[in-house]
Amino acid sequence: MNADIEQHAWHPDTRLFDAAAPLEQQLRFALQYAVLAPSNHNAQPWRFLVNRDTVQVCADRTRALPVVDPFDRELLISCGAALFNLRVALSHFGLAYAITLFPSEADPDIVASLRVSSDGYRDAGLAGLFDAITARVTTRAPFVDEVISGALQMKLAAACDAEGAVASCVEARAARQAIASLIEQADHVQFADARFRRELASWIHPRRAGDGMPAYGTVLGELLDLAAPAVTSVVRVFDLGSGTPATHQRLVEGSPLLVGISTARDDREAWLAAGQALERLLLVAAREGFTASYLNQPIEVGTLRDALQTLLQVDALPQLLLRVGRGPQVAHAPRRPLPDVVD
């Protein structure tokens, strides 16, 4: 896939939305925005079934990441982020909706059924996030070393709260340092596992098209080389461009604010809520000119999750850990063509 086609998904022509068209057509139009949600390894583990006034948002477990995400927790978080973008797009186009989560006992892959209905839910706050959908991007570069205002932190916390999750903002240097050392431990555990490296390598393979992550220089070869298990943070945290692993210290300096997203429970409903909270937070940040990337390693390595919870000083269970700040402009990751994900 060439670069122009890869970027095409990020420029839907909003003027082509036809409010007089059948609802099914309007829903298909709105799904162009759902697929711009983030997903682990850019696996895009979702499918959408459109039938008249209803969209079923489905988990595509053929795109699961069994090593890094054995229980499909992050997979459902990604589906939650896609559902949130769909809600924002529908709100922008003036369509109210009602959502039923996990509507079918028989088919646990249907994570949500969304029906457009004039007496459905409307949220004026969502429409205002529409332009941020195409502006949001994961930025793995170091961020500007600056104080992040309390006002922004409160907006990020309110975004998570609105979706039933808790945001914990960490800006004190000593606390960021303690979390960075937990990330370093988690990196060591994960990258020592050849299956983890093999799984990651398969999603940054240059022959992938429409999904996966950009290849970082020589990293792919190193991931597949059992004798060189130390590429760690280059891929997962920073793209320093030189192939040099980000040091723990660089992580602290280049991440002025860390944000944990936690939920009271640890089940499929909580994971969907965490995904919607994630995307709401990211869109609010993007609207304010801020960007983010992920530091989920101490959550994925289950034995470190309690320690992270303690450092975040939160009663709820951590689901995601982000770094937030202002970074350089980076290219968008590709998306699969809509016909591949919409039935």
Ligand X SMILES: Cc1cc2nc3c(=O)[nH]c(=O)nc-3n(C[C@H](O)[C@H](O)[C@H](O)COP(=O)(O)O)c2cc1C
Question: For residue 24, how far is the Cα from the chain centroid?
Answer: 27
The CA–CA distances, whole Å, from 272 to 2, 24, 276, 277, 282 equal: 33, 24, 6, 9, 15
Distance in Å, CB of 167 to ligand X, minimum: 15
Q: Report the residue closest to ligand X, judged by CB.
A: 38
CB-count exposure of residue 336 (10 Å: 0-12, 13-18, 19+)? middle
What residues contact 168, with CB distance under 8 A and at least 6 apart?
Answer: 259, 260, 262, 312, 313, 314
Q: Which two tokens stand for residue 99?
A: 């959502």
Does residue 39 bind ligand X (CB under 6 A)?
yes
Does residue 296 bind ligand X (CB under 6 A)?
yes
Q: Which is nearer to ligand X, 42 or 276 (CB)?
A: 42
Distance in Å, CB of 47 to ligand X, minimum: 17
Radius of gyration of the chain (CA): 19
Q: Which is nearer to ligand X, 80 or 115 (CB)?
A: 80
Q: Which is nearer to ligand X, 236 or 268 (CB)?
A: 236
Q: Which is nearer to ligand X, 110 or 322 (CB)?
A: 322
Does residue 137 bind ligand X (CB under 6 A)?
yes
Q: Which is nearer to ligand X, 95 or 299 (CB)?
A: 299
Question: Distance between CA atoms of 316 and 310, rounded to whole angstroms?
Answer: 10
Per-residue x/- marks for ligand X, 266-295, CB under 6 A? ---------------------------xx-
Beta strand 46-51 with 97-101: parallel, antiparallel or unpaired? unpaired
What residues contact 125, with CB distance under 8 A and at least 6 apart?
Answer: 162
Per-residue x/- marks for ligand X, 223-262, CB under 6 A? -------------x--------------------------
Does residue 78 bind ligand X (CB under 6 A)?
yes
**Which residues lie near ligand X (CB under 6 A)?**
38-42, 74, 77-78, 81, 137-138, 140, 213, 236, 293-294, 296, 332-333
